[in-house]
Amino acid sequence: MAERRDDAERLPREFYARDSRVVARDLLGRVIRTVGPEGVTAGRVLETEAYRPTDSCSHSSRGRTARTATMFGPPGGLYVYFIYGMHHCMNLVCEGDGAAVLIRALEPVEGIELMRERRGPKASDGKLCSGPGSLCRALGVDRSWDGTDVVTSGRISVHAGRPPDDDDVLVGPRIGVVGRAEDVALEWRWRERAAPARRVR
């Protein structure tokens, strides 16, 4: 049987087995794809944030708990948590106990009609995946996905995509974090300067 093109382009475990700050930058332009009973959705990564266990803003800074166990697992795990009683957020586990990258924004590239259904009539196309909670809802990801291996799973995967040049990447402080002042000030957020218009399907 011929190998599927998207399987051939799936990022290997070695990609995640690096410093979370390196992975956060390198995830820009990659494509996250989910497959479920309702259909397929996918988005190109536009914004990320890095977290490390020595960082007081990270969930892992207090050690392993039932909630954060996935963060202490192998690189390539999907850490999903629920926040403010209304939003799910997805992170990709990296090298080092408790290191991960939060996915903050995507550009929809596949399954936009399904994303619209999941997000509701008030969400404009430009806002379908703009924010950690919005993108999880659009992709159909919730807390039940926590612990999924994106390297081997059939329902979520990350693909090569088109990473931007360094000139097209902006770096700055993370958004809405709480911790020591020196950690809050860390410039561990990466985002693409401007995403070109793309046809969605």
pLDDT tens-digit series, residues 124-141: 888 899 999 999 999 999
State how far the Cα of 160 lies from the Cα of 10, in Å rounded to an integer: 6
Contact predicate 159/70, CB 8 Å: no
Specify the range with the lowest mean pLDDT, choosing from 32-46, 110-124, 133-147: 110-124
pLDDT band, very low/low/confident/very high, at 67 (cuts 50, 70, 90): confident
| 157 neighbors 10 (Cβ within 8 angstroms) | yes
> Over the chain, what is the mean pLDDT?
90
The residues, any chain, with a CB within 8 Å of residue 187's CB and separated by 6 or more, are 171, 172, 173
pLDDT of 85 reads 73
pLDDT of residue 3: 35
Find the length of the chain: 201
pTM above 0.85, yes or no: yes
Q: Check pLDDT > 90 for residue 42.
A: yes
Q: Indicate if the pLDDT at residue 200 is higher than 80.
A: no
199, pLDDT greater than 60: no
Which positions ≥6 away from 65 have C-beta within 8 Å?
Answer: none
CA distance 44 to 153: 19
Taking a C-beta distance cutoff of 8 angstroms, is the pair 44, 200 a contact? Answer: no
- The pLDDT, as a whole number, for residue 124 is 83
Hey, which bits of the chain come out as E strands?
Answer: 31-36, 39-51, 78-83, 87-93, 100-110, 156-159, 169-172, 189-192
